[in-house]
Chains A and B, each alone.
Chain A
Amino acid sequence: MTDLAVHEHIGLPVFERLGPHASRAEQVAHLAEAARQIRVQDLKLVHHAGAGHIGGDFSAIDILATLYGAVLDISPDRVGDPERDRFILSKGHVAGALYTTLAAFGFLPAAELATFLRPLSALNGHPNRTKVAGVEASTGPLGHGLPVAVGHALSAKLDGSPRRTYVLTGDGELQEGSNWEAMMAAAQHRLDRLTVIVDRNRLQQGATVKETNDLDPLRDKAAAFGLAVTEVDGHDHGELLDVLSAAPSPGKPSFVIAHTHKGHPISFMSDDVAWHHKVPDEAEYHQALTELEKR
């Protein structure tokens, strides 16, 4: 990229993983700062691209930062290692959050973020497995990630491998029947090294999930399908770290309902359905930056 105007908006440090001797408090502080910086960068991406899904990005970023920053057994030099953990982003429309997270943890050169949505960029509006190292499946149409994750978890089980599989779905996305097909198969095959994380922000594109096609009681439904259900504050890095790195429940896939807020923590975006894919104007952009810098 030679476009300096674009370059000015790329300023993301690379976050190294903390060593095994870091305290939980140090881990949590590290993840919180990574997530804050990822949000700042993602805000800039969306603002400058003039497009993106910032509401969903901001509900998912704490989950993504925790996975890449501390949970997944994966590193930039092992993206092709057959024994790496797999993370599949089923809600592919938050590609901007994924790219920014990958850049924050060294999987993608930060400078490449400047190409987001630009002509011929590898950084499409939905992630492309063949173009971006670290992307495990080309997602975008909803209800695809969970079946692919089940397939990977099955492969690991066949191999007798300890590698784990994580998949992040939206909550509105669970209206797609393919997810429930996959959950039945996950329980049937006792895929206990599979963790399904639901970004439970309670909003879909046009309205609340409750108004549209309610999922509740989601906890009971997932449990009835044979999954071990946990609920966490999806913006609390400590809770996320504990639950996502916990040992599996023997014989049962994990189902983590991460309670989140679309647009979190920006005052005028949070929980507002309009911010599904709205682009901040100049004043909103600066206000959001100020709010993120204060944290």
Chain B
Amino acid sequence: MTPTSVADRPRYDCRDAYVATLSELAHDDHRIVGVVNDSVGSSKLAAFRASFPDRLINVGIAEQNMVGVAAGLANGGRIPFVSAASCFLTARALEQIKADVAYSNHNVKLCGMSPGLAYGELGPTHHSIEDIAWLRAIDNLTVIVPADPVETSAALRWAAAVEGPVFVRVSRMSVPQVNADDYAFVPGKAVTLRDGGDVTLIANGTVLWRALVAAEQLAADGVAARVLSMPTVKPLDVDAVVAAARETAGIVTVEESTIAGGLGGAVAETVVQHHPARVAILGVPEFAPTGSAAFLLDRYGMSPEAIAASARDLLRHG
């Protein structure tokens, strides 16, 4: 009998880790401020506001101004954590992210809340499946997609300590803890959560645990799947991807974002240039129909069973 499945572990909303960590960081460093677009509730920042009323700047429903203001705060020596729904933060203020933050090299931390399909039934206007592809194309911006509360917290601590622009996705959909309690975030490095030589699953964010469960199911069939957690989409861990391409029959990527230009795109670009191999990209291919986030992930082939099936398919035709 294998240990309890990852699927059976308790589930957490990463926003709780977000506000707890941000409050601790702000307690220790007076430079840290929050910047929001009327998003105190959706970012779960009420506790932060209670502790640091002067250091939570609410610009109202005005995302372009929100990101510009954050750049100006950074110019004045503050470390702003912009906290807003990822769909509005990244789409509405994309040019501010590019020019005021990344190109100007202002020390701004962009926290995309409730990303991907988190808003489920609210529909594609509120889904943020494009954020990773958009931001990955911008120079001088680290793009991080944590998978659980431990990684969310660790990534935020790293972001606060490093000088320069960082984007962190903070998920709303509850997830089990997949990283160890003493997990240390290393930017640009994959984490091998499960070793295996037959096939590789590369995932991050809210679907990483699904990939781990898929690997459990594959193991039951005698297929040894390597599971690489890829919290940093940019810069990508090229060595880990190339090793997976070289050492296993192929790679299945799994992400809560569009199949165009996200984690799957980054892996495919790497494989094609360094060690051509079969890659299957699982993600969201269209404006999603009405449904909860979990329903939609299942619909788009990201249930553990469907991920395992993609891996088997890849092995069969590899």
Binding site for B on A (CB under 8 A): 82, 86, 128-130, 136-141, 143-144, 146-156, 158-159, 165, 177-178, 181-182, 184-185, 188-189
- Chain B residues with CB under 8 Å of A146's CB are 68
- Within 110-146 of B, Cβ neighbours of A (below 8 Å) are at none
Give the residue of B54, B64, B74 whose beta carbon is less than 8 angstroms from that of A147: B64
For the complex, is B96 an interface residue (Cβ under 8 Å from A)?
yes
Give chain A nearest CB distance to B139 CB in angstroms.
11
What are the nearest 8 A-B pairs in CB distance? A151-B72, A147-B68, A155-B76, A181-B65, A151-B69, A181-B62, A152-B72, A178-B64
User: Is B95 an interface residue, CB under 8 A from the partner?
Assistant: yes
Taking a contact as CB atoms closer than 8 A, the residue among A129, A152, A178 that contacts B76 in the complex is A152
A139, A156, A182 interface centre (most CB from chain B within 10 Å): A182
B73 touches A144 (CB 8 A): no
With A155-B77, A178-B64, A181-B62 already in contact, the answer to whether A150 and B103 are too (CB < 8 A) is no
Does B285 reach chain A (CB closer than 8 Å)? no
A144 B69 Cβ-Cβ under 8 A: no
Given contacts A182-B68, A185-B69, contact A159 B99 (CB under 8 A): no
Do A130 and B104 touch (CB < 8 A)? Answer: yes
Cβ-defined contact, A154 with B105, below 8 A: no
Q: Which residues of A contact B59 (CB under 8 A)?
A: 181, 185
Chain B residues closer than 8 Å to A189, beta-carbon distance: 57
Contact of B73 among A137, A154, A178 (CB under 8 A): A154
Report whether B95 and A141 are in contact in the complex, using a CB–CB cutoff of 8 Å.
yes
B75 contacts across to A, CB distance below 8 A? 86, 136-137, 148, 151-152, 155
**A156 — which chain B residues lie within 8 A by C-beta?**
76
A158/B54 contact (C-beta < 8 A), A137-B100, A143-B64, A181-B59 known: yes
- With both beta carbons as reference points, the residue of chain A lying nearest to B71 in the complex is identified as A148
Contact B64 A149 (CB under 8 A): no
List residues of chain B with CB within 8 A of the CB of A149. 72
A-B contact pairs, 11 of them (CB 8 A): A140-B99, A141-B99, A143-B64, A144-B100, A147-B68, A148-B68, A150-B65, A155-B75, A155-B76, A158-B78, A181-B59
> For A182, what are the chain B residues with a Cβ–Cβ distance below 8 Å?
65, 68-69
What's the nearest-Cβ distance from chain A to residue B234, in Å?
A: 19
CB < 8 Å A-B pair total = 111
- B70 CB within 8 Å of chain A: yes
Q: Tell whether, in the assembled complex, residue A151 and residue B68 are in contact, meaning their CB atoms are under 8 Å apart.
A: yes
Instruction: Mark contacts of B35-79 with chain A using CB atoms, 8 A cut-off: 1 yes-contact digit, 0 otherwise.
Output: 000000000000000000011010110101101111111111110
Residue of A nearest to B77 (CB): A82
On whether A181 and B77 interact (CB within 8 A), knowing A139-B99, A141-B99, the answer reads no
- A181 x B76 contact (CB < 8 A): no
Residues of B within 8 A of A (CB): 33, 54-55, 57, 59-60, 62, 64-65, 67-78, 80, 95-96, 99-100, 103-106
Contacts A147-B68, A153-B72, A178-B64 known; list 10 others, CB within 8 Å: A130-B104, A139-B99, A141-B95, A143-B64, A151-B68, A151-B70, A151-B73, A155-B78, A178-B62, A181-B65
Question: What distance in Å separates the Cβ of A123 from its nearest Cβ neighbour in chain B?
Answer: 16
Q: Are B65 and A178 in contact (CB under 8 A)?
A: yes
Kindly provide the distance from the CB of B90 to the nearest chain A CB, expressed in whole angstroms: 16
How many angstroms between the C-alpha atoms of A15 and B60 in the bound complex? 44
Supposing A129-B105, A181-B59, A184-B62 touch, asked if A154 and B100 sit within 8 A by C-beta, the answer is no
Cβ–Cβ contact B62 & A137, under 8 A: no
User: B98's closest neighbor in chain A, by CB?
Assistant: A141
A137, B65: Cβ atoms under 8 Å?
A: no
Contact of A138 with B72 in the complex, beta carbons under 8 Å = no
Evaluate contact between B62 and A150: CB separation under 8 angstroms.
no
Q: Give the distance to chain B from A225, nearest Cβ to Cβ, in Å.
A: 13
**A150 vs B74: C-alpha distance in the bound complex, in angstroms?**
12
Residue contact B64 to A150, C-beta cutoff 8 Å: no
Query: In the docked arrangement, what's the CA distance between A146 and B73, Å?
Result: 13
**Which residues of B lie under 8 Å from residue A153 when comparing CB positions?**
72
A residues less than 8 Å from B68 (CB atoms)? 144, 146-148, 150-151, 178, 182
Cα of A151 to Cα of B76 in the assembled complex, Å:
8
Residue in chain A with minimal CB distance to B35:
A151
Q: Which residues of A contact B70 (CB under 8 A)?
A: 151
CB nearest to B80 among chain A residues: A151
Chain A residues within 8 Å of B99, by CB: 138-141, 144
By a CB distance below 8 angstroms, the chain A residues around B104 are 129-130, 137-138
CB neighbours of B78 from chain A (8 A): 155, 158
Residues of A near B76 (CB, < 8 A) are 82, 86, 151-152, 154-156, 158-159
Chain B residues with CB under 8 A of A158: 33, 54-55, 76, 78
